């Protein structure tokens, strides 16, 4: 037996305290009334009697309590067998890598065959678990000694499209060792991809008493070509032409000329040649192709005889549609706000919206649900029916842009968004008396443009309450200039000025065109749509925490991926397979996303031999060797049991002390 913190044994000196009180306690004489002392002889009473130990049981319990407390804080432990040839009980874990790279050259079948051989060589009655590793460790069985069940679990493992993570493997094994409370013998069957290693070797540390054995399913680097990436617009408007740029990468390859083919909806469009240097990259560009209306399933593929064929194709989606409808609600006909806003929208290179202006007084019968974005230009007070319909439109996921000027300031609130207007701030066009824009949140898509506000002068702004909103841009003198508020599934942007050249000169600056284009794209969901994601990414199903609206997810095989409950409540969805996913939303903003495997899996370089040996020793190296050298031993703490004994001694001491105290009182 040993102690983790032996210096606490100095607390044993406290055992002298109860001895002191029992031995040197003061003698107390109780006076008794008596008639006369004349017949008593004066003598000196010996004090030896009073120095004798009394109450032996109570003294022993107090001594035991102090001694046990000191031992508990010292941390006693005993050594027990942890793992080794002499250990009797252990859990064997067979981990098979089923990541995307294991599709190369029959590596998965080789790993499964090796796992079956290891299983056959284990002693009868050994407890075994089978697990598969990709981006996470998934146990296929509970600990069992049933060889038939274990063999069936090995055979059932199929290659996935996910990227492997050895750091996640080590973390999961540490947790498994803590749960199993017994030594682990882990056999890992993998191609040992270098790209799957974590940034720090410390992340590979295994729990003590874990024996880790590697079984390589690949001997060396296998040359491999892959379509690494594709850049294409997610959505095109008006024009039916789209340009596509593809990057072809070689991993451990010689220089080669690779045919690259673009296909749209299963039809070959064009084939180009890529001159890929040795272990390098080359880019080809398909300048234009005819895209049909709706969603187009597109693919760039290469013709290369290499180790991993499944990364020779790259999927992406392009949607073609007419410009979406945007509603512009204003107070009077012929206003400059409409002229400037429409000119800026039509000046964008790929105009995504067609503006429909309507005066607020005549908008009672307008259904906002028909429009992707609604713009309120200094609306003032809205009719009650129109405001209710716009609120409903916003809650269901609509986009709303509000410009607040003097008419809105007079009402004291921003309609629909229901924000208070604190004040109207005026400046003069003469001299230097004007407001300037200050800090902007560059992460927001609406203002992610350099020098957007340079030289813009504001003569009238309204004061917005910054509480419960996201401030996107501030005025140089303080106060919000542009804020965003989420309402249900939708979002509203509030601009604290107008779109004419009266309250400011923003429409006269080049940044106004970029502001209008980016703001409309953001509110209409054009910028947020992406046609390409990687396996393991998550797709947002809702823009806020609101629930109840059903979002359908159609997987690559054409089946619904979510139950009715999940479709109404889930905030996001994990993309686990390659292929095309469709997202059908209640507001009509449907999307198609192409999912590809992580191209880090395309590099088939293996972990160096010295790194493998270090990894195998991260578990066993922390275990203490036993006296015979054949069995590893680890300390088993005993402080918990000692503390329980101390608690029992404290309870017994209280009971005995109470009994002795009752005897003394009765004697007195």
pLDDT tens-digit readout, 557-570: 999 998 888 888 88
Q: Do 435 and 330 fall within a single domain? A: yes
What is the edge-to-edge ordering of all strands in the sheet holding 624-625?
2-3, 76-83, 632-637, 624-625
Q: Do 457 and 413 fall within a single domain? A: yes
By three-state DSSP, how is residue 24 classified? coil
Mean residue pLDDT across the chain: 85
Q: Do 354 and 435 fall within a single domain? A: yes
Average of pLDDT values for 294-318?
A: 92
State the total domains in the chain: 4
Per-residue pLDDT at 159 exceeds 90: yes
The reply to whether 591 falls in a domain is yes
Report the alpha-carbon distance of residue 117 to residue 239 in Å, rounded: 61
CA-wise closest residue to 223 among 156, 140, 311, 113: 311
Greater confidence, 423 or 249?
249
Q: Do 430 and 473 fall within a single domain? A: yes
Q: Do 112 and 164 fall within a single domain? A: yes
Instruction: Answer whether 182's CB lies under 8 Å from 82's CB.
Output: no
pLDDT at 626: 40
Q: Do 485 and 569 fall within a single domain? A: no
pLDDT at 631: 43
Instruction: Tell me which range, 31-35, 46-50, 123-127, is most confidently predicted by mean pLDDT.
Output: 123-127
Residues 6+ apart with CB under 8 A from 41: none
Q: Do 388 and 502 fall within a single domain? A: yes
Q: Do 615 and 566 fall within a single domain? A: no
pLDDT at 238: 62
pLDDT at 46: 53
What is the edge-to-edge ordering of all strands in the sheet holding 210-216?
137-139, 127-133, 91-97, 184-190, 210-216
* Per-residue pLDDT tens digits for 198-216: 999 989 999 888 899 999 9
Confidence of residue 122 (pLDDT cuts 50, 70, 90): very high
Q: Do 476 and 546 fall within a single domain? A: no
pLDDT at 528: 54
The reply to whether 35 falls in a domain is no
The residue out of 469, 489, 515 marking a domain boundary is 515
Per-residue pLDDT at 375 exceeds 80: yes
Report the alpha-carbon distance of residue 30 to residue 34 in Å, rounded: 13
The reply to whether 445 falls in a domain is yes
Give the CATH number of the domain where residue 573 resides.
2.60.40
Min mean pLDDT across 7-11, 128-132, 383-387, 613-617 is at 7-11
pLDDT at 85: 42
The reply to whether 12 falls in a domain is yes
Per-residue pLDDT at 62 exceeds 50: yes
Strands (DSSP E) contained in 488-643 are: 490-495, 532-534, 538-540, 552-554, 572-574, 579-584, 591-596, 624-625, 632-637
pLDDT at 586: 77
Residues 6+ apart with CB under 8 A from 93: 128, 129, 130, 131, 173, 176, 184, 185, 186, 187
The residue out of 488, 515, 542 marking a domain boundary is 515
The reply to whether 241 falls in a domain is no
Per-residue pLDDT at 285 exceeds 70: yes
The residue out of 515, 544, 579 marking a domain boundary is 515
In the chain, the largest separation of any two C-alpha atoms, in whole Å, equals: 137
Report the alpha-carbon distance of residue 3 to residue 7 in Å, rounded: 9
Q: Do 619 and 653 fall within a single domain? A: no
Q: Do 150 and 104 fall within a single domain? A: yes
pLDDT at 653: 81
CA-wise closest residue to 328 among 290, 288, 373, 274: 373
Per-residue pLDDT at 25 exceeds 60: no
pLDDT at 45: 57
Q: Which domain holds residue 88?
A: 83-221+605-633
Strand partners, 539: 573
* Per-residue pLDDT tens digits for 609-636: 999 988 988 875 444 434 333 344 567 7
Per-residue pLDDT at 1 exceeds 50: yes
Greater confidence, 39 or 553?
553
Q: How many CA atoms lie within 13 A of 375 on its CB side?
A: 28
65: its two tokens: 């309590």
* Per-residue pLDDT tens digits for 344-359: 988 876 678 889 999 9
Give the CATH number of the domain where residue 153 resides.
3.40.50.410
CA end-to-end distance (rounded Å), the chain: 49
Structure-token match 């002390």, residue found: 657
Report the alpha-carbon distance of residue 248 to residue 228 in Å, rounded: 6
Give the CATH number of the domain where residue 403 resides.
3.40.50.880
pLDDT at 627: 38
Q: Do 144 and 198 fall within a single domain? A: yes
Question: Is residue 380 left, alpha or beta, with left meaning phi > 0 and alpha meaning psi from -120 to 50?
Answer: left
Q: Please give the distance of CA 141 from its chain centroid, rounded to a whole number.
A: 27
The reply to whether 546 falls in a domain is yes
Report the alpha-carbon distance of residue 330 to residue 498 in Å, rounded: 11
Distances (CA, A) of 32 to 37, 39, 46, 578: 12, 16, 20, 101
The reply to whether 226 falls in a domain is no
pLDDT at 472: 94
The reply to whether 39 falls in a domain is no
pLDDT at 239: 59
CA-wise closest residue to 257 among 235, 276, 282: 276
pLDDT at 23: 62
């Amino acid at each position: 037996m040993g102690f983790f913190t032996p210096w606490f044994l100095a607390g044993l000196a406290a055992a002298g305290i109860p001895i002191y009180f029992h031995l040197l306690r003061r003698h107390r004489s109780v006076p008794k009334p008596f008639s006369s002392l004349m017949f008593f002889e004066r003598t000196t009473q010996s004090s030896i009697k009073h120095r004798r130990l009394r109450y032996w049981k109570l003294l022993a319990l107090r001594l035991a309590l102090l001694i046990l407390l000191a031992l508990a804080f010292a941390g006693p432990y005993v050594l027990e067998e942890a793992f080794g040839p002499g250990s009797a009980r252990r859990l064997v874990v067979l981990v098979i890598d089923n990541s995307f790279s294991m599709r190369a050259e029959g590596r998965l079948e080789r790993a499964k065959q090796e796992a079956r051989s290891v299983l056959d060589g284990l002693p009868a009655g050994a407890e075994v678990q089978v697990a598969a590793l990709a981006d996470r460790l998934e146990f296929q069985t509970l600990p069992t000694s049933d060889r038939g069940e274990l063999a069936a679990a090995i055979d059932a493992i199929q290659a996935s499209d996910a990227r492997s993570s050895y750091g996640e493997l080590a973390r999961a094994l540490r947790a498994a060792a803590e749960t199993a409370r017994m030594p682990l013998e882990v056999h890992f069957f993998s191609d040992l991809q270098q790209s799957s290693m974590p940034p720090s070797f410390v992340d590979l540390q295994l729990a003590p008493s874990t024996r880790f054995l590697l079984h390589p399913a690949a001997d060396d680097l296998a040359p491999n070509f892959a379509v690494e990436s594709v850049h294409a617009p997610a959505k095109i408007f008006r024009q039916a032409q789209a340009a596509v740029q593809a990057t072809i990468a070689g991993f451990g390859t010689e220089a080669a000329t690779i045919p690259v083919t673009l296909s749209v909806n299963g039809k070959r469009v064009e084939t180009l040649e890529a001159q890929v240097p040795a272990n390098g990259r080359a880019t080809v560009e398909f300048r234009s192709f005819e895209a049909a209306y709706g969603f187009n399933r597109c693919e760039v593929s290469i013709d290369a005889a290499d180790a991993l064929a499944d990364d020779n194709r790259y999927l992406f989606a392009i949607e073609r549609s007419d410009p979406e409808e945007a509603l512009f609600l204003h107070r009077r006909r012929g206003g400059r706000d409409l002229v400037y806003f429409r000119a800026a929208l039509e000046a964008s290179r790929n105009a995504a919206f067609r503006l429909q202006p309507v005066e607020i007084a005549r908008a009672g019968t307008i259904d906002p649900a028909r429009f992707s974005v609604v713009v309120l230009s200094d609306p003032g007070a809205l009719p009650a029916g129109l405001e209710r319909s716009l609120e409903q439109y916003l809650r269901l996921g609509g986009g709303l842009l509000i410009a607040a000027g003097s008419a809105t300031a007079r009402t004291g609130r921003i309609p629909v968004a229901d924000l208070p207007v604190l004040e109207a701030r005026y400046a003069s066009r003469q001299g230097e008396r004007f407001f300037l824009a200050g800090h902007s949140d560059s992460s927001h898509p609406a203002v992610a443009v350099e020098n957007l506000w340079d030289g813009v002068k504001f003569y009238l702004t309204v004061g917005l309450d910054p509480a419960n909103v996201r401030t996107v841009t501030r005025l140089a003198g303080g106060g919000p200039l542009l804020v965003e508020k989420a309402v249900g599934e939708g979002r509203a942007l509030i601009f604290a000025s107008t779109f004419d050249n009266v309250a400011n000169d923003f429409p006269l600056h080049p940044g106004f065109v970029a502001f209008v284009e980016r703001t409309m794209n953001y509110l209409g969901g054009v910028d947020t749509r992406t046609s390409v994601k990687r396996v393991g990414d998550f797709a947002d199903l809702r823009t806020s925490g609101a629930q109840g609206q059903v979002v359908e997810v159609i997987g690559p095989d054409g089946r619904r991926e979510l139950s009715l409950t999940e479709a109404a409540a889930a905030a996001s969805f994990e993309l686990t397979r390659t292929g095309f996913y469709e997202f059908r939303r209640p507001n009509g903003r449907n999307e198609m996303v192409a999912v590809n495997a992580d191209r880090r899996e395309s590099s088939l370089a293996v972990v160096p031999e010295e790194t493998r040996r270090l990894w195998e020793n991260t578990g066993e190296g922390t275990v203490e060797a036993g006296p015979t050298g054949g069995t590893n031993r680890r300390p088993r703490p005993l402080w918990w049991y000692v503390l329980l004994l101390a608690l029992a001694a404290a309870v017994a001491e209280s009971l005995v002390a109470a009994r002795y105290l009752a005897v003394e009182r009765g004697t007195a």
